[in-house]
Amino acid sequence: MENINIHKTTVINPSAKFSPGVTVGPYSVIDGEVTIGDNVRIGSHCVITGQTTIGKNCKVYTGAVVGSAPQDKKFSADDNVFLNIGENNVIREYVTINPGTAEGGGKTVIGNNNLIMAYSHVAHDCIIGNNCTLANNATLAGHVVLEDNTTIGGFGAIHQFVRLGRLCIVGGCSKVVQDVPPFSMCDGHPAKVFSVNSVGLKRAQFSEEKILALKKALKILCLSGLSKKTALERIARELDPCPEIEHLIFFAKTSERGLCG
């Protein structure tokens, strides 16, 4: 194990694979067919288990449990399921992340450059894109999809099969039971869209013109009282086409749970 720093109290399964530069703190357990990429840092008292892959430069903090069996009554220990974590992710204290289930596609997938803060939970069959932030105690039920640059406030709870669109933000303590449109802000019990995510869009270097167009589109889609079909027809008729408007329309058309309105 050249260039690997593993504390002497760590318990390691012989099937585990380590890349150069890996550091593992005291009293951690690396179990199962785990593959850990270059320069990953794992803190003390962590458990990394199952068929889990962690990409390079990730940081896993104290007490995190990554790859443990899904909390699904249909799950069998014989199921061939996976957890794939990309690069440059930060997984803070006591986070729990489960792999997929046989009925749900078999994989939980986390992209790159995400921040998952303390005590958050990512359940089975979730798909998280890139550059997402889950604040403390954010909870994803099974089969949740987060597009890129999504932000969930502390104690936000996301219902199973819900999708969160690109560059949306969910307020702290929100109960999200329907899809959150891209570029929007939502909050409440249940959560409802109330504005465009103007701060997030400015940070992403969207022009003022584009922000205003998305604000108008979201107002038509979520706040006008129109049916989804009528609202989308009005958006297409009144707003100049651009990739962001087209993505918003596609997201709304493909929503199965309905939109936070």
Catalytic residue among 125, 148, 179, 187: 125
Task: Based on the residue annotation, tell me whether 142 is a catalytic residue of this protein.
Answer: yes
Query: In sequence order, which residues have a C-beta less than 8 Å from that of residue 66 and are 6 or more positions away?
Result: 46, 47, 48, 49, 52, 54, 60, 83, 85, 91, 95, 96, 97
CA-to-CA distance for 74 and 255, rounded, in angstroms? 26
Task: Judge contact between 226 and 152, C-beta under 8 A.
Answer: no
165 is catalytic: no
CA atoms within 13 A on the CB side of 13: 17
The catalytic position among 25, 104, 124, 171 is 124
Question: From CA 204, how far away is CA 71, in angstroms rounded?
Answer: 36
Q: Which of 129, 142, 171, 200 is catalytic?
A: 142
- Note if 124 is an active site residue: yes
So which residues are the catalytic ones?
Answer: 124-125, 142
